[in-house]
Amino acid sequence: MDKKSCMMASRLQSAMEYLMAYGWSILIVAVVLGALAYLGVFNPIYFAPKANPGSCQVFRPNGAGTSYDINLLGVCNGEMPQYAASFNGGTSYANVISSGFISPSAQISNFAWIDLSATGSAIIEKQGSYGMKVGVQGAMPGQFAGYVWGTNGVCGTFPFTLSLGRWYFVGFTFDGTYLKEYVDGSLYCSITYQESIPQSGNPLALGGPGDADGYVRGMISNVQLYNTSLDSNSVFALYQEGIGGAPIDLQNLVGWWPLNGNANDYSGNGGDGAAVNVVYTNSWTSSYMPP
């Protein structure tokens, strides 16, 4: 073997010895980096300031149900929450006090941020009145449904399919005639919907089966309920605020459940929730992209 071949063989042997000695270390580092990336540690929002539970709330000096002289109190600059509510798809839910501030034939708007890991779930529901669901009561799997009493409100040609494992801003408005469904601030469905909103003594269920339609498996954050039909500009503005956004119409706000560490109602209307088997997790950022 000539000198050049000997040198190449020597280098190859040194390289193999290096890989044998340090290969496992390199593999372990690669696995750790991959795991951190999966958990969202390298996502800039992982390091962004997070709002403490209850850091922003509505102040009603004249009591629950009043709609004058009200304002936001605390740090309300749209900081992302520390926690999101995680539901296990079988036994976790939160029942909140039934608010009497929505009357028959009234208008309504209902919005929330969701990150689901399975379809067929009731996101928010007041039995016999109103709510939001995914892939239930006639909806195709992955489709979002808003409804107000009676018939399910899914459009027959609904053009949007929700993907699992990412955050969406979903909700609907009802003005007494038209039911409009929104995903990420955009209108995706509008149908004529001649229904009234009846009163009901049943509690409002978050993530649980108000009508036995299935439990949520995934996360829910920032649930907002209004007794008015928000226009499209207001809906888009809510979406642009992001997952930590405050309510946009305080005078018509009925309930506000950020689900940031608890199931309390921060609308000033006293609709605090009782959570069962709900986990408040700070590992929600990996699947969230700011608007």
Span 50-287: which CATH code?
Answer: 2.60.120.200
pLDDT for the residue 138: 46
DSSP letter, residue 246: P
Average pLDDT taken over every residue of the chain: 78
Alpha helix segments (H runs only) across the chain:
3-38, 232-241
Phi, psi of 15 (to 5 degrees): -65, -40
pLDDT for the residue 133: 75
Euclidean distance between CA atoms 225 and 71, whole angstroms: 17
Euclidean distance between CA atoms 235 and 216, whole angstroms: 24
Euclidean distance between CA atoms 160 and 182, whole angstroms: 10
H/E element holding 132? strand 130-134
pLDDT for the residue 263: 94
Does pTM top 0.75 for this prediction? yes
HSE (CB half, 13 Å, CA atoms) of 288? 25
Alpha helix segments (H runs only) across 2-93:
3-38
Most confident of 53-57, 62-66, 114-118: 53-57
**Extents of the domains making up the chain:** 1-38, 50-287
Please say if the pLDDT value at position 71 is more than 90.
yes
Q: What is the pLDDT of residues 175-208, one digit of tens each?
A: 888 888 898 999 987 888 766 665 555 678 888 7
Q: Which residue has the higher pLDDT, 218 or 212?
A: 218
Alpha-carbon Rg for the chain, nearest whole angstrom, is 24
Give the range among 67-76, 101-110, 136-145, 196-205 with minimum mean pLDDT. Answer: 136-145
Q: Which of 38, 35, 86 is nearest to 287 (CA)?
A: 38
Q: Which of 273, 272, 268 is nearest to 64 (CA)?
A: 268
